[in-house]
Copies of this chain bind each other. A is one copy, B any other.
């Protein structure tokens, strides 16, 4: 759409920038902003440091670009929640999608976790603005389900926090999860175990007593 609205770029420039962003995501996710060096990123992208700085004017510039791009895709699953379908199905598929994202995009999850842990210096306004608005909106939908007796009454904000926490845990604390489960349960089986567990926890936890 407006990918070149502000800064027109050639196709090659765009591709090189993609290459750098891909490499930077890897490095930033593992070492955090301060821990990552431009040298590492340039190495991973297969180019020299000055060459990298020809495409992005600073380390901060790369990081901001990554964060901004992350947020768009990161909140997509939450945006999709609506009150048309069955509440339990709706929540179950949200949890599933969040867990799939933790499996498929662990670096994005860790990039975000790093940013929040450091006090969210670059995204605090977005958290207090766009994110809060979105969550408030979905909380109202969930409250509607509770009033209608479709799911058990509980605090919708903390429900959302719990879904975020449990799913992202598998990306952010992956090292710990692997260490505790041992080599026997690596790979695909682990994901299905987690999915089954989370489905049971949240679905039973929200079942209407009666």
Chain B neighbourhood of A135, CB < 8 A: 180
Interface of chain A: mostly helix, strand, loop or mixed: helix
Give Cα distance in the complex from A182 to B179, angstroms. 37
Give Cα distance in the complex from A157 to B154, angstroms. 25
Give Cα distance in the complex from A204 to B113, angstroms. 29
User: Could you say which interface size class chain A belongs to?
Assistant: 35 or more
Set B110, B120, B175: member contacting A176, Cβ < 8 A: B120
| A13-21, A64-72, A84-92, A125-133 - interface stretch | A125-133
In residues 179-210 of chain A, which contact B (Cβ within 8 Å)? 179-182, 193-194, 196-198, 200-202, 204-207, 209
Specify how many copies of this chain sit in the oligomer: 2
> Does A172 make an interface contact (CB < 8 A)?
yes
| A2-10, A45-53, A54-62, A162-170 - interface stretch | A162-170
Q: Are B157 and A127 in contact (CB under 8 A)?
A: no
> Does A173 make an interface contact (CB < 8 A)?
yes
Given A165-B166, A180-B135, verify A158-B117 contact (CB < 8 Å): no
Q: Are A154 and B201 in contact (CB under 8 A)?
A: yes
Chain B neighbourhood of A175, CB < 8 A: 116, 119-120, 124, 127
In residues 98-137 of chain A, which contact B (Cβ within 8 Å)? 110, 113-114, 116-120, 124, 127-128, 131-132, 135
Q: Are B31 and A198 in contact (CB under 8 A)?
A: no
Q: Are A200 and B152 in contact (CB under 8 A)?
A: yes
